[in-house]
């Protein structure tokens, strides 16, 4: 399935589970609580936009120690 998912922009629940590494049942829970972007064409079928899913996966990024150290050093040096 990996190859088929890599070429698609709009994914079904099975493909979205494969892409995210989450179970279908957990994805259903996330959609029912409106915690993940999704579409319901014709009111029942679930569809996911690949770009939106990837952005959702990338939310709440954790800053690395190195990035924090660089930011601190720049702040002390007066660099913006």
Tokens of 50: 């690949």
Q: What is the CA radius of gyration of the chain?
A: 18
pLDDT tens-digit readout, 11-64 = 999 999 999 999 999 999 999 999 999 999 988 899 999 999 999 999 999 999
**Contact (CB, 8 A) for 1 and 42:** no
Q: What's the rounded Cα separation, in Å, for the pair 69 and 15?
A: 39
Look up residue 51 and give its DSSP letter: H
Q: What is the pLDDT of residue 29?
A: 97
Q: Please state the pTM of the whole predicted model.
A: 0.76
pLDDT above 60: residue 1: no
């Amino acid at each position: 399935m990996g190859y088929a998912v890599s070429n698609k922009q709009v994914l079904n629940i099975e493909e979205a589970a494969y892409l995210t590494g989450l179970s279908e049942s957990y994805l259903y829970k996330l959609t029912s609580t409106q915690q993940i972007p999704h579409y319901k064409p014709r009111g029942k079928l679930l569809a996911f936009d690949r770009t939106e899913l990837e952005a959702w996966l990338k939310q709440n990024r954790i800053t690395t120690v190195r990035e924090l150290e660089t930011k601190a050093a720049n702040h002390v040096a007066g660099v913006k």
